[in-house]
Structure 1
Amino acid sequence: MDKSKFIDLENIKIDIEVIRSIPEKIAVDNSIIAFKEEEGELYIAVSSELKQSVIEKLKFITNKRLKLFYADKFKIANLINTYYCKYSVQMALENTRSGRNSNVLKSEIKSVQYSENMNDVPIVKTVNYIINAAICKQASDIHIEPFESYVVVRFRIDGIMHEFIKIPRDIYSHLSTRIKIMSGINITEKRMPQDGKIQYMYNKDKYDFRVSTLPVFFGEKIVIRILHRSDKLNNLKLLGFKDNDINIIHSMVNRPCGLILITGPTGSGKTTTVYSILNSMNKNKINITSIEDPVEYMIENVNQVNVNLKLGFNFPKGLRSILRQDPDVIMVGEIRDEETAKIAIRAAITGHLVISTLHTNGALESISRLLDMGVKDYFIRDALIGVISQRLIRKICPYCKKEYSPLLTEREELKVNDGLKLYKGTGCLRCENTGYKDRSVVYEIVDFKGIKKNIGDKFEWCNFRNKFKSIDDYCKDLIKSGVTTYEEFLKLKF
């Protein structure tokens, strides 16, 4: 097939009857979608070259000539989810409620196994469809929440929760059992929180899921964190870092020893930034070891260690063990306490490059945090190379982006003239009617070379704010360039 025949599915009006001319299983298995029918020809979008046997099968099923076009695989997956999955979830739920497969379900619970031949069981299909829909919508988490008369499934997309579907209360036990089986969780334990993992394949991509259960008043709430090894893990620029700042980060990472901190609140993308930094290093020339709670993504040529609090193997014990393993670079998932902080600082002083995360609101506040943990100021002066503090902000949806004239308060805050136009998303199907699609990092980077001598018990970080570009300043630039909105900027202040 000629690869120049590429089609953008976002700009095409699609007839649902045309889509349904291809059975769902064939569409999902081969990542294809029919989008147009004209003069006996069926137009099909594909993400990769189709096998001749699949083409012949499609010709037989549809009884039409085929015209194939290349399209983005995520756009194909999103259409499959939109036009097949939600309908299929409803059908699978109805079949599950009918009880026609109760014997199969019971045998599955007894075997406590996840095998491919179970994929046609309605409850299995229901769970798979929910997961597939979350992946298609690029959700970071799936929340399954039981209430008195129904169960709500919600997705967290770009940091915001969206309701996907309501599930009848009477089949929730089957649904939770299925997820527990997939994640290796004890299906009989309902009174205590549990954690598990799932490895999942969708559209030829591998995903890792972290599963957490929590007993609530009306049952067990289940949260599934979706972890996908994307190109962003290998590229700081895709995360939103500017070229000049990437060079600063690389210059810090290339130093032989010292401490680099990535700071921000929970959900600000710290771990993704740390992994991207590790991926940018020449791992063949150095020994990199990490200690994490838990390991979120597997990184090639990095020795990754999971803490195990049940066995007493915590960050301090893990760090001491790693120091006996001849490391060049140590990644500490998070500095949580005084003991971990002191060991990490000593490791940085004694010839190791240490990269870690810390919960603070800004780059300079990290010094105050370390001092509060009991780390001596002279150790911080000797060890600290630099700090990256970051947040995540939502980007304006490119499909419904419209310009507008800013209000007086916006102009004054942003310090722009009357003629400048700003942008907002009006909301569309592609962005779940939010006006936003995807997220970008906003950040501040402080190289401590110039201010180390000022670090002490009475360190006042506010005196150094004018020495670097702040998160607020960076976000304002993104507003002026039409990447994000004034409303997203206001959220940074809280």
Structure 2
Amino acid sequence: MIEWTRERLGDILLRSGLVTESQLEQALEVQSAGGGRLGKILAERGVISEEQLAETLAVQKKLDLVDLTEYDIEKEVARLIPSQVAVRYQVLPLAVRDGNLVVAMANPLDVEAVDTLRVMTGYDVQPVVATESDVAWAIRQYLESEETAIRAAASAVSREPLRQEEPEIETETVPVVTLVNKLVDDAIEERASDIHFEPQTDCLRVRYRIDGVLHEVARIPKNVEPSLISRLKIMADADIAEKRLPQDGHFNYAGRGREVDVRVAILPTMHGENVTLRLLSGAISLLKLSQLGIEEDMLERLRALLSRPHGSLLVTGPTGSGKTTTMYASLNELNTPERKIMTIEDPVEYQIPGIVQTRVNTRIGLTFAAGLRTVVRCDPDIVLIGEIRDLETAQIAVRSALTGHLVLSSLHANDAPSALTTLVDMGIPSYIISSAVNGVVAQRLARRLCGRCKEQVEPEPRLVYRANIPDEDLEGATMCAPRGCKHCAQTGFSGRIAVSEIMPVSEAVAQLCVKSGSSEVIREAAIAEGMRTMRQDGIMKALAGVTSLEEIMRVVV
């Protein structure tokens, strides 16, 4: 039998040399801010792999390490516990051996989990160690079918229609609450950034956006739709009776071991109300610049721009291109005790200790411009503006950059050179832009190939021709393609990586800006000075096997 001690995971990892004290402290801060398991946080931040974590725990506790994809799991034994318990503790019973219950555990240090299983099953527990993703996969395979669970929850809702005279839903046992929680919990588990509830003529279609691509997960019966939409409105503090006008709202949600901020957009359509939930998990999403996938030489350029005491750095790209993540990774690097950093955002997506953050509230007149006017009077060293949307905000941002502040902001523009011409189009004089803007980062997000199943392939001539890749660049390339496995939900991709171009506003670029040069002319000058375009950066990543060439063609070329 295992000797149950309360030794902390962090101490084990430190003693094993897998993490440094600094890395552990940062992970503990993330855990304190947003919850979650320490090992999972370290793995998500790239400090250790799931396999390293599992191997360390197995060695330290003298337990067997198992691969659940190869293990002969007994279904009857697996079902000794409810799926909710398995998910909560990340455990799965595998077999009964010599009167003991063999249980796969992602965290064999969890004494509470062992005690719970002992009481529930009546067996002494013999843990074995498995990776968390293996346990999650096995739970889905043996204890719950997501589609079946959602369908069952929807069926329960259809038997209890919402009563308009009693819109308040307070108890967690109400079927509609169970259904909504199930959909949001699953989205969090699948790392979805958005949940789309889309009314059709005969159903309510539910889709998750995972790594930038939409995946259908359920079709809810039409008679359940009013109850589900009403529940979402109540959670978002929206008007449950208003069905003709668009509405916005937000709420905080705690599920699957982490807390997320949820933004809600409601839009009336021909077949009902379309509801979109944006899931913002600040504690998990906050990254370092080195984790964004920016090549080392370009990263040096970016850090040089951030090291300047004043001026502005603009991050451009379409919605969902990772602009906020890049800006917060920059703030994370700049956040030192001797600096005062203030932000004005809509909404505050990531919360960082030591930074003063303000949320825009247009209902009471707290716009970007109004908030920014006060922010610059609070003696900040660095100011982050969530987005420059209008001339007034742009004017204050430029003025702040010229009066001793370092300003970071996002802007909607197709590429780095276009950011300068966009400001001119807004009404900012070109001679001021050339003095106030230090540089521009333009980016897109490409899906990263799953490291567990990607396979090396020969370059496809059709794509090589379309991307105009020279033969010499293909020499020594390790191009890969997606295959699909249980770890990536058979998609072949896991996570995303930034494809970017970084353009310092040099003297030559500034002069072209003053002369009202076009974005193409500015681009040529920037390339001549060493700027790598997004297209070039993406192709480099495809040639290195980080992503696929087809994916780069989808997002950039």
| TM-score relative to the length of structure 1 | 0.89
Residue 330 of structure 1, aligned match among 378, 383, 389: 383
Q: 1:417 to 1:242 in 2, by over 3 A?
A: closer
CA deviation vs aligned residue, 1:253-294 (integer Å, no higher than 9, x gap):
222110111111111100111111112223422221111122
* Distance in 1, Cα, partners of 2:496 & 2:72: 28
Q: 1:122 to 1:13 in 2, by over 3 A?
A: farther
**Pairing of 1:124-135 with structure 2 (within 5 A):** 124-135=177-188
Q: 1:179 to 1:6 in 2, by over 3 A?
A: farther
Q: 1:309 to 1:75 in 2, by over 3 A?
A: farther
Moved more, 183-192 or 266-275: 183-192
Is 1:466 the counterpart of 2:521 in the alignment? no
Partner of 1:58: 117
8 Å Cα contact 1:328/1:353 also seen in 2: yes
Is 1:24 the counterpart of 2:88 in the alignment? no
CA deviation vs aligned residue, 1:190-233 (integer Å, no higher than 9, x gap):
22222222212223221111112111112111111111125541
* Distance in 1, Cα, partners of 2:258 & 2:443: 29
Q: Which amino acid aligns with 1:158?
A: D
Partner of 2:9: none
* Distance in 1, Cα, partners of 2:370 & 2:382: 17
Partner of 2:102: 43
Partner of 1:340: 393
**Pairing of 1:88-99 with structure 2 (within 5 A):** 88-99=149-160
| SS class of match (1:138) | coil
* Distance in 2, Cα, partners of 1:329 & 1:167: 47
* Distance in 2, Cα, partners of 1:70 & 1:179: 39
* Distance in 2, Cα, partners of 1:27 & 1:182: 27
Residue 203 of structure 1, aligned match among 241, 245, 256: 256
**Pairing of 1:191-340 with structure 2 (within 5 A):** 191-340=244-393
Partner of 1:445: 502
Deviation at 1:168, TM superposition (A): 0.9
Deviation at 1:72, TM superposition (A): 4.3
8 Å Cα contact 2:321/2:445 also seen in 1: yes
Partner of 2:514: 456
Is 1:487 the counterpart of 2:525 in the alignment? no
Moved more, 325-334 or 30-39: 30-39
Unaligned runs of 5+ in 2: 5-56
Moved more, 66-75 or 441-450: 66-75
Deviation at 1:424, TM superposition (A): 0.7
Is 1:414 the counterpart of 2:448 in the alignment? no
Deviation at 1:339, TM superposition (A): 2.2
8 Å Cα contact 1:81/1:133 also seen in 2: no
* Distance in 2, Cα, partners of 1:19 & 1:263: 49
* Distance in 2, Cα, partners of 1:121 & 1:356: 43
Partner of 2:49: none
8 Å Cα contact 1:145/1:221 also seen in 2: yes
8 Å Cα contact 2:335/2:354 also seen in 1: no
Deviation at 1:417, TM superposition (A): 4.4
Q: 1:341 to 1:154 in 2, by over 3 A?
A: same
Q: 1:79 to 1:108 in 2, by over 3 A?
A: farther
8 Å Cα contact 2:310/2:406 also seen in 1: yes
8 Å Cα contact 1:40/1:65 also seen in 2: yes
Partner of 1:426: 483
| SS class of match (1:126) | helix
Partner of 1:84: 144
Partner of 1:363: 416
Unaligned runs of 5+ in 1: none
8 Å Cα contact 1:406/1:421 also seen in 2: no
Q: 1:368 to 1:54 in 2, by over 3 A?
A: closer
Moved more, 360-369 or 73-82: 73-82
* Distance in 2, Cα, partners of 1:326 & 1:145: 46
* Distance in 2, Cα, partners of 1:126 & 1:296: 26
CA deviation vs aligned residue, 1:286-331 (integer Å, no higher than 9, x gap):
2211111222222222222222333333222222122222221111
CA deviation vs aligned residue, 1:12-50 (integer Å, no higher than 9, x gap):
457454432221232233232335555655433334356
CA deviation vs aligned residue, 1:379-411 (integer Å, no higher than 9, x gap):
122211111111101122234322222233444
Q: 1:363 to 1:32 in 2, by over 3 A?
A: same
CA deviation vs aligned residue, 1:148-179 (integer Å, no higher than 9, x gap):
22111111111111110111111111112222
**Pairing of 1:181-200 with structure 2 (within 5 A):** 181-200=234-253
Moved more, 472-481 or 75-84: 75-84
**Pairing of 1:110-121 with structure 2 (within 5 A):** 110-113=167-170, 118-121=171-174
8 Å Cα contact 2:449/2:482 also seen in 1: yes
8 Å Cα contact 1:358/1:366 also seen in 2: yes
Q: Which amino acid aligns with 1:473?
A: Q
Is 1:405 the counterpart of 2:458 in the alignment? yes
| TM-score relative to the length of structure 2 | 0.80
Q: Which amino acid aligns with 2:395?
A: K
8 Å Cα contact 1:233/1:273 also seen in 2: no
Q: Which amino acid aligns with 1:434?
A: T
Partner of 2:10: none
8 Å Cα contact 2:289/2:330 also seen in 1: yes
Count how many residue pairs are aligned between Structure 1 and Structure 2.
486
Q: 1:22 to 1:112 in 2, by over 3 A?
A: closer
Partner of 2:53: none
Q: Which amino acid aligns with 1:354?
A: V
* Distance in 2, Cα, partners of 1:30 & 1:478: 38
8 Å Cα contact 2:314/2:439 also seen in 1: yes
